[in-house]
Amino acid sequence: MKPLAKWGPVLFSLVLMALAIWLEWSMLGERGSLLLFSFLNLILFVDFFDFIVRLPLRHTEGRRVRGASGAAPLDQQDKGDLLPYAIVASLYNAEGELDELLPRLRPFQQNVWFVDDASSDRTAAHLRQRGWRCLEVSPNKKKPAALRQLVAQLPAEVETVLVIDPDIYFDAEQPVAALEKTIQHFQVSDGAALSPRLLVDGSSALERYQSFEYCLTFELTRQSLPGCSATSGIALYRRAALERTFETHSLSVYAEDLENAMILISSGERIDYDRRLVMHTEAPKRWRSWFSQRVGWSFGLIRAYHLCWPALRRLKLVSASAYQYLIYLGLFCLLFHPLKLLSGGLLLASLLFSLAAPWFEGALSDAALTTQVSVAGVYVRYTLLVFLAWLFIVPASEKRRMLAVIPTYFFYVCVLLIPTTAGYCNWYSLRFLGRRVYRDHYQEESALRCQFYRSVAPETL
């Protein structure tokens, strides 16, 4: 990779952002307040810093042949024979979804195992009638515990396990060939897990926001983490590594994939990301469903981080894994969240104050006009950051579809603070008061309370 191709986008982004900041300060002159400017732009500063750090790291080759430290990139190595693999999924009351799910998985039927997690309908019976393998468990265990029981009963020769959700489908004309090529590469690597790229379809505004968000998550965040990426709900695992993960996993449905990643990374294992294996997944189509999902995600983040902290704090400080799990997740997402919330509140108050400028006179009118410039500056700079991400991160085939979200994505980021705050508050209220502030759809209150107090930090990793 030529230095210009690697560092050119970084320098271009820095120059544009510096120019945007200089333009605002030149307009404000002596009326500008550094303290107000810093608080209003906190969300921008954090996201722009993360963008600049990760941008050049996207070009780093991460996967190696197993046992060959410092070997050539994996694509330049000879592939070995394909070892047996399994595709596993946990189902619950999915009888009405089988007509859509099974045709998508038909090409892989000989490698697919389902686990029916105590469904109250005839999910398991219908699967068997149609010739699919299905293990039944009872009582309802939720996805991690159900999969642990299923994986333990897979044939001994199965070396690799692909965990999927029922709503996914492969983005390939020949899905079997595409998947097995990736599995072959993975099996000769030294990785414990591999994350594919997930795409979100849909044409509504909410679906487009999530599509852009997923694109940044995978094409920027995970692409920039060679060997220390994160798993998602759909991920490829070395079976032995997955079974060891289940031994120390809390088996909570909340952020179970992130907990898997934290356990593996803190154990010295590698997690890779392969953007060539693309799968489509469904995202919430209504704001209410989206809100419940994001409350659960943020609750899962703080819960998993609390459980895995004794192991995570032993990570080497100068490493990509330390940046992702200590600085980005620990500092930016968790510790900085109250400051982000304060920044968002101050931004809203400043916006309301600036809108009242026509009704003010004298000093108040000047202050309101100054605030107008500051609020507009925050919006312009964050939109500039979104444009840079669209320019350098979004694949060419998706740019046209993503273009429409650029002008308003800043507002989506601000709204996202609300369910994130609710999720964090749920963890504290459950820990100290024994109940949640907001009940998301993932788990009933009584079952969650029992599991929450039974959880023990995996300090023996």
Q: Give residue 36's pLDDT.
A: 80
Mean pLDDT, rounded, for 244-256: 94
pLDDT > 70 in the chain, percent = 87
- Distance CA(354)–CA(232), nearest Å, equals 42
Poorest-pLDDT segment among 19-23, 67-71, 171-175, 366-370: 67-71
Q: Give residue 362's pLDDT.
A: 55
Q: What is the length of the chain?
A: 461
Q: Give residue 450's pLDDT.
A: 67
pLDDT, greater one: 363 or 185: 185
Mean pLDDT, rounded, for 47-68: 74
- Distance CA(196)–CA(178), nearest Å, equals 12
- Distance CA(344)–CA(71), nearest Å, equals 47
Highest mean pLDDT among 19-28, 61-70, 166-175, 294-303: 294-303
Q: Which residues, 6 or more positions from 86, have their beta carbon under 8 angstroms from its beta carbon?
A: 111, 112, 113, 154, 155, 158, 160, 161, 162, 239
CB 416 within 8 A of CB 423: no
- Distance CA(325)–CA(457), nearest Å, equals 16
324-357: burial string, b at 16+ Cβ within 10 Å, e else: bbbebbbeebbeebeebbebbeebeebbebbeeb
Mean pLDDT of the chain: 87
CA distances from 77 to 70, 173, 362 (A): 13, 25, 72
- Distance CA(213)–CA(420), nearest Å, equals 15
- Distance CA(292)–CA(416), nearest Å, equals 11
- Distance CA(447)–CA(443), nearest Å, equals 7
Q: Residue type for 257, please?
A: D
Q: Residue type for 190, please?
A: D
Q: Give residue 349's pLDDT.
A: 84
Mean pLDDT, rounded, for 100-115: 94
- Helix count (H) and strand count (E) of the chain? 17, 8
Closest CA to 427 of 448, 408, 442, 409: 448
Structural domains of the chain ordered from first start: 11-58+335-454 (no CATH), 82-333 (3.90.550.10)
Give the pair of three-digit tokens for residue 457. 């930090």
Closest CA to 259 of 279, 225, 230, 295: 230
- Distance CA(382)–CA(392), nearest Å, equals 15
CB 368 within 8 A of CB 356: yes
Report the 10 Å Cβ neighbour count for 63: 23
pLDDT at residue 67 greater than cutoff 70:
no
- Distance CA(174)–CA(256), nearest Å, equals 30
Beta strands in 210-358 (DSSP E): 235-238, 271-281
- Distance CA(445)–CA(77), nearest Å, equals 51
pLDDT at residue 215 greater than cutoff 60:
yes
Q: Please report which helix (H) or strand (E) contains residue 181, including its range.
A: helix 175-187
Question: pLDDT category, 452, cuts 50, 70, 90?
Answer: low
Mean pLDDT, rounded, for 143-154: 95
State pTM to two decimals: 0.89
Closest CA to 255 of 230, 237, 273, 288: 230
Question: pLDDT category, 408, cuts 50, 70, 90?
Answer: very high
- What is the number of alpha carbons within 13 Å of residue 304 lying toward its C-beta? 26
pLDDT at residue 211 greater than cutoff 70:
yes
Q: Give residue 35's pLDDT.
A: 82
Task: Tell me, rounded to whole angstroms, the distance of Cα 23 from its chain centroid.
Answer: 34
- Cα torsion 381, 387, 391, 393 to 10°: value is 90
pLDDT, greater one: 291 or 369: 291
Q: Give residue 446's pLDDT.
A: 67
- Distance CA(170)–CA(71), nearest Å, equals 30
- Distance CA(19)–CA(266), nearest Å, equals 41
Question: pLDDT category, 458, cuts 50, 70, 90?
Answer: very low
Poorest-pLDDT segment among 38-47, 320-329, 351-360: 351-360
Question: pLDDT category, 441, cuts 50, 70, 90?
Answer: confident
